[in-house]
Structure 1
């Protein structure tokens, strides 16, 4: 059996997934996926890329390293575990930044590994952003003020978990949350801890297998103008949020005493 087949079987087992589940996520039949695991057929390049992104393991490692000898965390830290995203340029040589529209943000989790999906996205160029692969994601909710609905966060693709910096903000693409914008806190053996700037929300851990992509904040684009008194209103909202947080903490302490 080839290293690729063994790695596919191993990674699927580590995530406790069925062949049918993986095949459905890759948009292929279970029988076709089973042939790849049984080494009865070799996946074409476009499927190999999807498999690499699905398991968050580089093609180099999938083809050359017996991953069963490493923990998931060690795999993420291996020097060759990097996925290179193509950088598109316009006719002037400026990097093209794909824009994930608000209405299609939920579909990104399924389409991020599909070249046709990415090529179908609208793009912009920001000449002041250089040296990396950038993509624009919609902000949603109230967890990361002052960004609100209608704002786009432009992120730079992060190749390795070791590149994450404490208290820097990132767009995380995860299995459970889809697109989320949070502040990185610290790294553990089986996950990373993040938090929102809105203190009403508790910090939480993202398991390593759930992480599909990470993009470091590069800049933001507002598409909705702030009102003259909006920041004053926001101060009131923050004050109310702090009160709610204090009340919750008091209740938790009272519960502990009981």
Structure 2
């Protein structure tokens, strides 16, 4: 798969053979030879290729990206690190690969990550073959812009959104733009998959503060270097309906009754 994948990723990165050779530290003629299958790269060159493409070495040599119409890869680029004084944010020009799946009409699917697959997602989030095995669906109401993924959550930290609810999130490629209080699915090496409200502290201290809607749970910080993905919550699917606040309903009824009585007195 090396020659096929080299051509695929070079085109995805919009690089000429000369530019690719410069990034890999090899001669341009070698890039042409690798793409035509006339030569095979050394191990060090393969490692450099995998790092440049943002994929695993195993995926580079075993996965045919060019023919996987159901597992295309989209390159995402984070905003360059801030030049203002303070702790550094994520490195500048840090290219990341977001694996996704599409249907027969080339429309992006929404992959569902159920609770039982949460642990595996940390290892397979960039693996097209892993994503192929996940349940998929589409929600036309979300529109055409953006890439979406759905995660089943557990626990009561974000009540009234109950445990077992599926959160549909839109992929965030520029973490610096996240506004304080935005509900997001945060995928990280230490915390796994969590649903919290983010308070952005990247410019000041290179951390995100995660808040729960349930006041029983205290906020905590997570280092940006531990974050793998962030998905802004845009919709949720639940079989549990919110419980009505009866005290508010009674108050509204009293106010309405008083208004009717005042109207009657005015007429009298």
Pick the TM interval, shorter chain: 0.5 to 0.7
SS in 2 for 1:110: helix
TM-score w.r.t. length of structure 1: 0.60
Q: Within 1, Cα distance between the matches of 2:76 and 2:150?
A: 25
Q: Deviation digits for residues 203-256 of structure 1, max 9, x if unmatched?
A: 11101111000000110011x2348xx5569x9xxxxxxxxxxxxxxxxxxxxx
Alignment RMSD: 3.6
- State yes or no: 1:202 paired with 2:223: no
Q: What is the CA–CA distance in structure 1 between the aligned matches of 2:229 and 2:24, rounded to whole Å?
A: 22
CA–CA separation in structure 2 for the residues paired with 1:231 and 1:114: 42
Q: Deviations for 1:86-137, whole angstroms, at most 9, x for unmatched residues? A: 5543235543100001211121111112121112211000011131110000
2:174 paired residue number: 160
Q: Where in structure 1 do 4 or more consecutive aligned residues deviate above 3 Å?
A: 2-5, 44-48, 58-61, 71-76, 86-89, 91-94, 230-233
Q: Please tell me whether residue 108 in structure 1 is matched to residue 113 in structure 2.
A: no
The one of 50, 56, 70 equivalent to 2:55 is 50
Are 1:73 and 1:208, in contact at CA under 8 Å, matched by a contact in 2?
no
Residue of structure 2 in register with 1:215 after alignment: 231
Listed as ranges, the gaps of 5+ residues in structure 1 are 6-34, 53-57, 66-70, 236-258
Partner of 2:209: helix, strand, or coil? Answer: strand
Aligned length: 184
**SS in structure 1 at match of 2:167:** strand
Contact 1:109 1:178 in 2 (8 A): yes
Partners of 2:179 and 2:76 lie apart in 1 by 26
Change (3 A) 1:86 1:146: same
CA distance in 1, matches of 2:192, 2:141: 28
Verify the 8 A CA contact 1:95 1:126 in the aligned structure 2: no
Matches of 1:141 and 1:108 in 2, distance apart? Answer: 19
Q: Find the counterpart in structure 1 of residue 260 from structure 2.
A: none
- Normalising by structure 2, we get a TM-score of 0.58
- 1:73 maps onto 2:61 in alignment: no
In structure 2, runs of 5+ residues without a counterpart are 1-21, 26-41, 58-74, 81-85, 249-268
Matches of 1:209 and 1:43 in 2, distance apart? 22
Based on CA coordinates, which of the two structures has the bigger radius of gyration? 2
**Residue 135 (structure 1) aligns with:** 149
Distance in 1 between residues matched to 2:96 and 2:146, nearest whole Å: 13
